[in-house]
Amino acid sequence: MPELTSDPATRGRYAPSPTGYLTVGNARTALLAWLDVRSRGGRFVLRLDDTDTARESVSAADICADLDALGLDWDEGWDVGGAHGPYETSKRSDRHRAVADDLIAGGAAYWDYTPAIADVSAHKAGRREAKAGRNVHRGTPDAVDGVDPVLRLRVPDAGRIEVVDRVYGKISVDVADVSEVALMRSDGRPTYHLASCVDDADMGVTSVVRGADWLNSLPQHVLVFRALGADVPAFAHVPLLVGKDGQKLSKRQGDLSIRHLIVDEGVPAGALCAYLANLGFEERSDLPTLTEMASTFDIGHLGKASPRYDPKKLEALSRRWLAERESSERLAAELRVRAPVELSDEQVAVLVDGVRTRIPTFAAAGDLAGFLGLDDSPGRDVTVLADDVVAPVLGTRPWDADALAAAIDAAVPAGPDRKARLGAFRDALAPGLRVTPPLHVMLAALGPDRAAARLAPT
RNA sequence: GCCCCCAUGGUCUAGCGGCCUAGGACGCCGCCCUCUCAAGGCGGAUGCCGCCGGUUCAAAUCCGGCUGGGGGCGCCA
């Protein structure tokens, strides 16, 4: 693998808000942000974007756990510290208020006494009287009794704002279409628009990768950076994932959380990363790890259209990942946890090799060990499977998968009845199970005594 | 309603005016192999490059309109 370029001056960040477990969409953005930084040898900063405490539903630790489960790491963050802390936006309010004062003094922001929209849902659902564009709030610039003002960004009266996005290319908008967004709420807390820009500037962030739902806010953010006297970071907006039907991905669906995918469904994190991080790029024929992806990563190659999240494709990739790339250690650990019965070291070793090419997830690996939990009572149909076939197999020494496979082949030679006899073998070893590991793997895992018990004549 | 963005087989995409009667991968279908499920081998189908116009000797590639989809228009992020 080529040596990664090392440029510590590149600083990228991921700034999740604790409003829910990471979904496949969030995870993809985080992955792309991480790859962008790592591909250039830069530093990755994790910042908690907790500007809206009312909507918080998960802990910061949950988010770290999800990111960690994916295999991401970070150099600075609210949990590991760093030179630019604190890394929780809520702890930077004093700084935000001081910046707000500067912006007012410099004429870049003004107080607006228009009462807040009372019912947002009605406002969103109904016919929209809201107008985009500047000057819509300037009607009530003077103090009004009983109204706490909101601080708004002042947008220039004429001209265009131009900025180059690393994914979308040149963005050029008329200021008439740029609304004067809120920077500070009437209760004195900053909004995302202010906090995010200030924090990025303060933390020396040079590269921002975020969801395309922020693209429309980019002009305002450019204005804020300029007013701050800070360099505008390089922005890369990533198209949002859409659902199977091409419609928007519902965040309500619990099965879209990566925690559910990894923990409940047992999708290997590496497969999930390979799938999510490759969406929007030309598909690779290999199955790269994150590090391997980082060596050739260029977010400029990301497609601009919204890719569909396809669970079927994820499963196909997961199957390949388990067969080709998953470590035996990890597979062994997952098998122990997910098998319905306690497994010995020998059984784990046999099963790891015996099941890895035939499972879509770790959960399925556990299911394949199900035959071990069955009763060892006799079940062989002697009319199909004779003693002179079973005896040599049971006499196999050493009792290991390879020797057993050879013994089975020798005892049941190719012929018209081979299929039936081996089928009877399976029925005796794993009665009632539709899917099992191969015969020799089951025999090896059961051990000679339990195998003999199950193969005893009915 | 207004503003912004996007549009190649089922999916992810290559393609940046002639090399394209559009390439790859995944999926799908068939055959082989086969103790189930997989894996593996071999072969196959699937796109009037969303639609309509224009520019050009030449367009998937450039321009315009339309349609569809996404995003935004909030003292949410």
Interatomic separation, CA of residue A239 and C1' of nucleotide B69, rounded (Å): 13
Interatomic separation, CA of residue A316 and C1' of nucleotide B22, rounded (Å): 27
Residue A285 pLDDT more than 90?
A: no
Any strand B atom closer than 7 Å to A150 CB: yes
Give pLDDT, residue A1.
37
Q: Which residue has the tokens 């399925």?
A: A364
Mean pLDDT throughout A204-233?
Answer: 96
User: Is it true that A11-79+242-301 and A89-238 share their CATH fold?
Assistant: yes
Residue A355 pLDDT more than 90?
A: yes
Give pLDDT, residue A8.
74
Nearest protein residue to nucleotide B38, judged by CA and C1' positions: A358
Q: Which nucleotide is nearest to A419 (CA to C1')?
A: B35
8 A C-beta contact, residue A320 and residue A287: yes
Q: Which nucleotide is nearest to A136 (CA to C1')?
A: B73
Which residues of A in 112-141 have their CB below 7 Å from strand B's atoms? 114-117, 120, 123-124, 127-128, 130-132, 136
Write down the domain spans for chain A. 11-79+242-301, 89-238, 327-458
Residue A72 binned pLDDT confidence (cut-offs 50, 70, 90): very high
What percent of chain A lies above the pLDDT cut of 70? 91
Q: Which residues pair with A257 in a beta bridge?
A: A23
Residue A415 binned pLDDT confidence (cut-offs 50, 70, 90): confident
**Range ranked top by mean pLDDT from A126-140, A213-227, A397-411, A414-428:** A213-227
CATH class held by domain A11-79+242-301: alpha beta
CA A299 – CA A32 distance, rounded (Å)? 8
Q: Which nucleotide is nearest to A195 (CA to C1')?
A: B77
> Phi/psi of residue A26, each to 5°?
-60, -45
Give pLDDT, residue A152.
93
Residue A5 pLDDT more than 60?
A: no
* A231, two tokens: 């360099």
8 A C-beta contact, residue A363 and residue A266: yes
pLDDT digits (tens, 9 = 90+) for A187-200: 999 999 999 999 99
Tell me the average pLDDT of chain A.
Answer: 89
Interatomic separation, CA of residue A152 and C1' of nucleotide B61, rounded (Å): 44
**Range ranked top by mean pLDDT from A42-56, A125-139, A213-227, A234-248:** A213-227
Give pLDDT, residue A2.
39
CA A23 – CA A369 distance, rounded (Å)? 30
Mean pLDDT throughout A100-128?
Answer: 79
Question: Is pLDDT larger for residue A165 or for residue A251?
Answer: A165
Mean pLDDT throughout A47-62?
Answer: 83
Question: Is pLDDT larger for residue A122 or for residue A171?
Answer: A171
What percent of chain A lies above the pLDDT cut of 90? 66
8 A C-beta contact, residue A167 and residue A236: yes
Which residues of A in 10-39 have their CB below 7 Å from strand B's atoms? 17, 19
Please tell me what DSSP assigns to residue A263.
I
Give pLDDT, residue A382.
73
* A31, two tokens: 């992955």
**3-state secondary structure (DSSP) of residue A454:** helix
CA A44 – CA A87 distance, rounded (Å)? 12
* A402, two tokens: 């390879």
pLDDT digits (tens, 9 = 90+) for A341-350: 999 999 999 9
CATH class held by domain A89-238: alpha beta
Any strand B atom closer than 7 Å to A313 CB: yes
Question: Is pLDDT larger for residue A275 or for residue A121?
Answer: A275
CA A400 – CA A440 distance, rounded (Å)? 8
Count the neighbouring beta carbons within 10 Å of the beta carbon of residue A289.
Answer: 15
**Range ranked top by mean pLDDT from A50-54, A192-196, A427-431:** A192-196
Give pLDDT, residue A115.
78
